[in-house]
Chains A and B, each alone.
Chain A
């Protein structure tokens, strides 16, 4: 081990996890160097379940109403959940990261794979709470074999994750053949300079002999991490077994997992091809349905997108590898490009292993920028990851800047000579390298869309209304990579999402737009209640969403509610009870989520957001902002004027038709919000009612105190 200075050390008793819980959390203040164990109360388990629930509860008591992202009291919490770390059921290795976001000012939550979560849990902790700011660069090392937590100096290491994670794994592992027992959380040089940043959670890939990286991508977690001068969190745990979670009923857990393994074995190659190409299988499907973002979400389809189709990535992804980000995940979606040689930047010419790209990265760093070469997308993916930059916010921010460049709002004089024409990958590479170096126009783009809107209006005289319409952010967070213009439900799914427009709360486009299964406002509101609650549950338990509906039982279409995948919901109920020993049904499952979801909503209100005005999308997410957009789908829009509004488009100018369509669609959106708030138990202003909080059991005094300020 390197000669590091020990700044603080804490010893704790090693004891086995019992029925999914340690019943304690780890508190580390890197500023005061205080380290302590906090008990998990029965109230925490009953009301917050675990994972994101524990994170938010801890963070609520760690921050103040006016805490900003870079205040010392801001926390990074990483929770694991009672189901996290079981090796039986696919998708069970997730950590959930929360912090007060530098982009939004409210709690952001990220669900991330890699081995850190399960190892930290089996090291003895249900969640880790990090507070304070270190005076010098530090590493926090949790030794789950010995029962110690150390804060160590880290003055010399490279910050970029693909180097740092590998170095630290080799340093902290007991031997050459024990690298798989160490996992690292790190960020990168980009996160030191721009808020559109992320954290990388590693897992050691035994076959490739490299550290693979999974991202807690959204909302700027990496910048908070680096602002605290934390270079890395390291955990070591060598005792993993098939029953390390000490479930109440191992056999049911194993049998349920085996059932899903077999389902995946039989069905994946004819369903989503996750084991061949991961989520990149979506690219051609989204293009087919006019949903693939192109030119900053102006269009949803382009012939050139064939260059980014999954078969192009399949040529690059090494096949037939057990690419699960946690043991036991036979869906195996985290693909890797072996021996990739970057053509730009500090690692130009050096072979590297690149994780992904996943669909979001292909959309963000590819189609939305008109970059159609799969290898360029892989390279952007590599640099985003190692620099600690979120591929989604990076893509959407670059797309916004490129559209501004197209309109002459920004020019080469402003960009420092960078040509931001659509499709110019070299210009985009320069932006990301500038973000890592902390210089140039990359520093402007890296502030994210909301800040760019302010800067371009203030400095360059751009029309604020146009920037508002085409700037794809809400609450300060950039949109992820699906076109929501033709799906009212998805407009709500995105913009009502508590942390900002990420698709992990609801993805309703097919239900709504393609299959027309939720035609009324009430239908949409029900979907915008059920699915966000159901998906929240994964974050409470330490689970991944993908094995829920990216593989389906062969008879799923014949069930009463195929969109919910009833057999898999039953699986989750079964494995929850098998692990925790506590009874659960599909209704109480939703209740568990409702408690935490409403707590998070009130948390946002406490931080000064969470208002109705924060739930309004930019018009680009709702309809055509520019004439060219309208004209590109004129037939569709004209016919909608006729069929939905009873307006004859004949004789009207495009501008007139756009205005009529806009008025209609924006009104529809407001009606949707009314219906959803009502279904969620909130007032028309989006405030949870006291009655609703009592009904769901989230009527804690501190919650009611905040809510009463708004009623």
Chain B
């Protein structure tokens, strides 16, 4: 089974509360560029981007800093990461994020914090078959 954050863009109202919740909990700052979920509402249609836990990045990582936990979630061990960004380049959904001044990338780990902040039921923690 694979636990992941399922997005429902048709429900999203682009309030960005999820981004605030995420960056506040992990980086202690309210900054959408430090969120592990991204809402893009520029130019009309709303798109949502969070890791779907496909795991392609895991086999790319040269230090095995990326691994899949028992719930099927791709986890990044920052102690092992050497900041090469090969995972960023290989991600098919561009869901491995980087930020100026950081050497370690970051991604959604399906913790569900953002789902509690969402007023529109646009994101849910779900599980799916591998």
Where the two chains meet, the residues of A that have a C-beta atom closer than 8 Å to any C-beta of B are 87-88, 180, 206-207, 240-243, 250-251, 254, 257-258, 261-262, 264-265, 320-322, 324, 327-328, 330
Q: In the complex, which residues of chain B have a beta carbon less than 8 angstroms from the beta carbon of A180?
A: 63
A254/B85 contact (C-beta < 8 A), A180-B63, A265-B90 known: yes
Q: In the complex, what's the smallest C-beta–C-beta distance from B20 to chain A, in angstroms?
A: 24
Q: Are B86 and A322 in contact (CB under 8 A)?
A: yes
Chain A residue nearest to B87 in the complex (CB): A261
Among the 9-residue stretches B7-15, B26-34, B96-104, the one with 4 or more Cβ atoms under 8 Å from chain A is: B96-104
Q: In the complex, which residues of chain A have a beta carbon less than 8 angstroms from the beta carbon of B98?
A: 254, 258
Q: In the complex, which residues of chain A have a beta carbon less than 8 angstroms from the beta carbon of B62?
A: 206, 322, 324, 327-328
A207/B81 contact (C-beta < 8 A), A242-B104, A250-B103, A258-B89 known: no
Cβ-based interface call for B61 (8 A): yes
Q: Are A242 and B81 in contact (CB under 8 A)?
A: yes
Known: A87-B82, A180-B63, A328-B85. 7 other contacts (CB 8 A): A243-B103, A250-B101, A257-B85, A258-B88, A258-B98, A261-B88, A330-B90
Chain B residue nearest to A206 in the complex (CB): B64
Q: Are B85 and A207 in contact (CB under 8 A)?
A: no
Q: Are A261 and B103 in contact (CB under 8 A)?
A: no
Which of A241, A254, A262, A265 is B82 in contact with, Cβ under 8 Å? Answer: A241
Give Cα A321 to B59, complex, Å. Answer: 7
Give Cα A243 to B102, complex, Å. Answer: 9
Q: Are A241 and B83 in contact (CB under 8 A)?
A: yes
Chain A residue nearest to B99 in the complex (CB): A251
A330/B86 contact (C-beta < 8 A), A206-B63, A242-B103, A242-B104 known: yes
Size bin of chain B's contact surface = 20 to 34
Cβ-based interface call for B49 (8 A): no
Chain B residue nearest to A259 in the complex (CB): B89
Q: In the complex, which residues of chain A have a beta carbon less than 8 angstroms from the beta carbon of B84?
A: 87-88, 242, 257, 327-328, 330
Which of B59, B64, B82, B104 is A240 in contact with, Cβ under 8 Å? Answer: B82
Which of A242, A261, A321 is B89 in contact with, Cβ under 8 Å? Answer: A261
Chain A residue nearest to B59 in the complex (CB): A320
Q: In the complex, which residues of chain A have a beta carbon less than 8 angstroms from the beta carbon of B89?
A: 258, 261-262, 264-265, 330
Give Cα A550 to B81, complex, Å. Answer: 27
Q: Are A242 and B83 in contact (CB under 8 A)?
A: yes
A243/B83 contact (C-beta < 8 A), A180-B63, A250-B103 known: yes
Q: In the complex, which residues of chain A have a beta carbon less than 8 angstroms from the beta carbon of B104?
A: 242
Cβ-based interface call for B60 (8 A): yes
Q: Are A87 and B59 in contact (CB under 8 A)?
A: no
A261/B85 contact (C-beta < 8 A), A180-B63, A241-B103 known: yes
Q: Are A328 and B82 in contact (CB under 8 A)?
A: yes
Q: In the complex, which residues of chain B have a beta carbon less than 8 angstroms from the beta carbon of A330?
A: 60, 84, 86, 89-90
Q: In the complex, which residues of chain A have a beta carbon less than 8 angstroms from the beta carbon of B85?
A: 88, 254, 257-258, 261, 328
Q: In the complex, what's the smallest C-beta–C-beta distance from A578 to chain B, in angstroms?
A: 13
Give Cα A265 to B85, complex, Å. Answer: 12
A251/B86 contact (C-beta < 8 A), A320-B59, A322-B59, A324-B62 known: no
Give Cα A264 to B86, complex, Å. Answer: 10
CB contact list, B92-130 vs A, under 8 A? 98, 100-101, 103-104
Q: Are B82 and A322 in contact (CB under 8 A)?
A: no
Interface string of B58-75 (1 = CB under 8 A from A): 011111100000000000
Give Cα A339 to B104, complex, Å. Answer: 34
Most buried by A among B60, B63, B89, B100: B89
Ranked 6 nearest A-B pairs via Cβ: A242-B83, A242-B103, A261-B89, A328-B84, A322-B62, A87-B84
A87/B83 contact (C-beta < 8 A), A261-B88, A322-B59, A330-B89 known: yes
Q: In the complex, which residues of chain B have a beta carbon less than 8 angstroms from the beta carbon of A322?
A: 59-62, 86
Give Cα A254 to B88, complex, Å. Answer: 11
Interface string of B32-65 (1 = CB under 8 A from A): 0000000000000000000000000001111110
Q: In the complex, what's the smallest C-beta–C-beta distance from A574 to chain B, in angstroms?
A: 16
Q: In the complex, which residues of chain A have a beta carbon less than 8 angstroms from the beta carbon of B83?
A: 87-88, 241-243, 254
Give Cα A264 to B89, complex, Å. Answer: 9
Chain B residue nearest to A320 in the complex (CB): B59
Q: In the complex, what's the smallest C-beta–C-beta distance from B130 to chain A, in angstroms?
A: 17
Q: Are A207 and B103 in contact (CB under 8 A)?
A: no
Q: Are B64 and A207 in contact (CB under 8 A)?
A: yes
Give Cα A321 to B104, complex, Å. Answer: 21
Give Cα A207 to B65, complex, Å. Answer: 12
Q: In the complex, which residues of chain B have a beta carbon less than 8 angstroms from the beta carbon of A327?
A: 62-63, 82, 84
Give Cα A262 to B90, complex, Å. Answer: 7
Give Cα A402 to B103, complex, Å. Answer: 54
Q: Are A251 and B63 in contact (CB under 8 A)?
A: no
Give Cα A584 to B43, complex, Å. Answer: 40
Give Cα A250 to B84, complex, Å. Answer: 12
Give Cα A262 to B63, complex, Å. Answer: 19
A242/B90 contact (C-beta < 8 A), A254-B98, A322-B59 known: no
